[in-house]
Structure formats: C-alpha cells, structure tokens
Structure 1
Amino acid sequence: MDTAFREHASALLQFLRRKASPQEAPDLVQEVFARAAGSAQRHSLVNPGGFLRRIAQNLLIDRSRKVHRHGAPEVSFCEERDFVTPPQQEWSMEAADLMSLYEAAVDSMSPKTREVFLMHRVDELTYREIHEHLGISVATVEYHMMKALAHIAQAVDYNR
C-alpha cells in the first residue's frame, strides 16, 4: 500500500478534486486508502491504480446515495454570507471610530478656526460669504481652513 500511495495519490487527488469539492478531496484520498488497506484484495493487485480509482468511484457513489437518502443538502461556504464579521459591520465600526476622531479634532481647534471650518463645511458657506459674515479677509478664511484641515489630518493619522 505504501508504494501504491506514492505512485497514485496525486492522480487520485486530482480525480477527486474534479468529482467532489477541492476542500474534501484530501480527506477522500485518505478514505480511499483506508478502504484499500482494509480490503482482502490488497495483497494480490494487478492494477493498483485502477483498484484505487474504483474505490474512489464507489466512495463517491456511496456519498451521493447517502445525501439523497437523508435529504441533506450540500453545505458550502460563502464568504460574503458566512464570514464571522461581515465586512459592512467592520466598515461601520471603522467609520464610527473615524467620526469620533474627527469630532474630537474639531472640538480641539481654536475657536476662530473651528467657527470658520464649521461655517464652510456644515453651513456650506463660501470663503467670500465667511469673509463678509465674520469681517475677516478671504486670505484669513483660507488660512483657518488650511489650519483646520491640517489639524484634522494630524489627529486622524496620529490615532490610526
């Protein structure tokens, strides 16, 4: 059986991968050799490869009959459906963490920079409208926006 295993295991594995699922094939090869080792014919084989292939075919037939008899559906793994933590859940958690970092960064800005930033991003005012509303130059609005964006980027990058 040792010689038969070395000579025929890889061909048997390829055969079973085509006929059954690739994940089950190695286990099925072991089952084939276990059945062959228990066979009374194992000592007088003329064609060991054919003998092993016949055992593999019979094993597949037995498994098919068992599934049909018991009505057990074949269970397969679907990564999108069966993943331990769905990617969307992980992304939602990361988004919540990122939002917390963002809010903390906005809260820690100087009052004037925070006011300019929120007027532009939340109230959707243009730089010119902020300039008119606060009585500061457009260049100063740009300065506060660059300062706010750099502060947020630093806070987010630092905590990740």
Structure 2
Amino acid sequence: MLEQLDHPVTDRRQVGEPDLAVWLAHYGPALRRYFGRRVGDIEVDDLVQEVFLRLHAARRDTPIDNVDRYMFTVARNVLVSRHRSDRARGGPFHQTLEGMNEPVDHLSPERIAIGSEEYARAVRAIVALPPRARAAFQFHRFENMTYQSIAQRMGISKESVKELIHRALVRIAEQMEAEA
C-alpha cells in the first residue's frame, strides 16, 4: 500500500483507498518533526491527531491529488487555528496551577473564633429588628421567598416589603458596625 503513497491519488476506484494507519506510519514522523519545531512536546501528538482527523474527513468527500502538499497545508492550518484560539483565550497570559493545590485560606483557630463572633453579632442584630422587618427579612433571606409572596403572606404591598427589607439591612449593618 505504500506504493500508492508515492503516486498522486487521483481516483480511489483505480488506485484503491489508502489506509489511514499506513498514512500515519508514513507521514506521522514528519508531522511530529514539523510540529516539534513549532510548539511544545506536549502538544505535538494532539496536533498530529488533528491533522489526521481533518484528513479523514476530507478524504470522504473528494480524492486528494497530492497527499504531501495537502498534509502539510492542513498541518499549517491546524497551527494557525491553535494560535488563534490560544490568543482568543489569553493563552500567553495563562499560568498553570501546578503546585497550587493548597487551599488559599487556612482555617486557623483564630479565624474560626472571629467567624463565630461575627455570626453571633449578626444573629443578635437580626433578633433586635422590629418584628415586621425581622419577619420580612427572615422570609426573604432564610426561606428564599420572593417579595410578592412575602407581601401576600404578610398582607402588605410589594413596595412595603422592599422598604422593610431595606430598613432591616441598614439596621443590621449599623448594629454590627457598632459592636465591632
């Protein structure tokens, strides 16, 4: 079948359809060298595979007259496509995350104590709210109810619910800031 590669493939019925595995064995090393000079070793096999996928797709539609020229034209186009997609995704600015498996923020005993104190302050601030504002706030924040459903449940307008929740947020922030 390698004899077929030496002659341009003009008609599949006359010459027979070349086997993709034979093309890979014949052209694979040259493509690897071509890509190896232009990209990192990690990408070479992916690019060679991309060339053969495109070759396989094109081969179904029309016969390939000059396999050498076509193969390296496809290889160049694959490189151009890879370069464009890398540039669009910010490839030159990409940093690998090797060695960054450690959590960014360690939960130290001090941080846990500070978080517990802040939680207690927030609870005290919510409990200190006027009853209607506290109810509207709890419905919205803890039960995930919409303003409309809170308004129906409390028998008030949607605008009143917005105002109650706004006042509750302001009072909670003020009280937590005063305690800090």
Same fold (TM over 0.5): no
TM-score, structure 2 as length reference: 0.40
